[in-house]
Structures are given as structure tokens and as C-alpha cells.
Copies of this chain bind each other. A is one copy, B any other.
Amino acid sequence: MRAPQIEAAWKGLAACQTCGIRHLALFADLQESDFAHIHTPIEELRYEAGSQIYGVDDPAEAVFTVRRGLVKLVHLQHDGTQRIVRLIRSGGVAGLEALLRPGYAHSAVALQPVEVCRIPVTVVQRLQAETPRLHFRLMEKWHEALSIADDFLTDLSVGSVRQRLARLLLLLSEEAPQAPVRLFSREDLGAILAVTLETTSRTIAEFKRTGAIREVGYNLVLCDRPALSAIAEQA
């Protein structure tokens, strides 16, 4: 397990006004005039799968909106193993705690090729002082994070590994039920479900045998969602 490198590719300065996913993001409610208050550049950055977006030791000077890809928030335990406490998809926000604390609560790592907007804390604070339109969205994002944490607690940490893995696959496939799902490493899957990578591997193998998932490429599976639902809820 090598230390994830910090490598961002600069894509340019963000054009929030014309952003394609703005309706999902932090600045959804802002008006033309509000953008005049942004004086520090918002950067658009690319990260490859496996690279770190921020770490717990970094100074928390920015909030990150995920434009594309999947980001994991990782807590590392005293014994050196990792626990993934949240997965963040397009439209989600990572590092909100930067608005309140000098450090990040977790490290954020790209699970897939990722594009993010790096929004300096000063920009959010400035906007917050100038316009009330951000407050509501900001609360929405806090609530979103909390809902995801609750899902992890109720769906991915309770029951047998079979149930938990089935629920995770349902979660990963819910955006595009017909499309194949890209699995990540057994270690990461284990860190989400709080089990060992061997158990994860065995359970995936079992799902393939029983047809609940079908492998259509390297770590690429089609989900039989009804079958997975049955597994997820079985007493």
C-alpha cells in the first residue's frame, strides 16, 4: 500500500456562471451580481484514480465540489488500517469543515478519475457575508453529508457482509441502474463495509456464482438489482 501521491492537473479557472452542474452544487442559488464578489480564483482540477485531493495534515483552506468521478473520505485508524466514512459523487462537496476548523477531518482520495472545483474558504466566507442566498445551499450540503453518513451507519455497517455488500452495490448502481458498475479494490470495499478484503473477495465471488452480479470487464459488473435487493433485506 503506497502513500497516495498528491497530484492535481490544472484544468483552468472555473466559470461558475456557465457551469453545467451548478444546479447540483454550492452556488446553485447565486445570481449574476453575486459572482462579482469572488476575488480569489476558483480552480478546476483533475485527479487520477488513487491520488489524494487533500490530507488531514493539509491546512484546510478550501472546500471541494466534485464535478465528475467518485471521491472517498478516509479515516485512518490507530492500527494503520483505513475506514472509508463517505463516498462523494458528482454534485457532492468535500471538506466543508474547512469553513469552521483549520484542519480537515479526513483525507480525500479519488477512487476514479475525478474533476473538482477548489473553492477557497475566503470565497465562501466573502459570499456568505454579502448574500444570504448561499446559506440555504450550504445547509443543504451539510445535510447531504449527514445523510450519507447515516446511510453508511444504517446500510453499510449493519447485518451480514452479504447484506452490506448488496446494499453497497445497489447504492453504486442507483444513478444508472442499467449501466455497469466499476468496482474498486477489495481493500477499499472492505474499508467501506468494515470487513477484511478476503471476506469481500469471497462474497463478490459468491454474488458472481449466484448471478446477482455479472462481470463484463475488469472490475466492471452488471448488477441484478432485484436479486441484490432480495439479499439486502433478507432476514
Interface size on A, residues (CB 8 A): 36
Number of copies of this kind of chain in the complex:
2
Which residues of chain B come closer than 8 Å to A136, judged between CB atoms? 100
* Interface hit among A8-16, A140-148, A211-219: A140-148
Per-residue CB contact flags for chain A residues 86-126 toward chain B (1 = under 8 Å, else 0) read: 00000000001101110001100000000000000000000
Set B77, B79, B129, B146: member contacting A142, Cβ < 8 A: B146
Q: Does A157 contact B (CB under 8 A)?
A: yes
A158 touches B194 (CB 8 A): yes
What chain B residues lie within 8 Å of A158 (beta carbons)? 77, 83, 194
**Which B residue sits closest to A234, measured CB to CB?**
B79
- Residue A139 interfacial (CB < 8 Å): yes
* Residues in chain B near residue A135, CB distance under 8 A: 128, 135
The chain A residues found within 8 Å of chain B, CB to CB, are 75, 77-79, 83, 85, 96-97, 99-101, 105-106, 128-129, 132, 135-136, 138-140, 142-143, 145-147, 149-150, 152-154, 157-158, 194, 233, 235
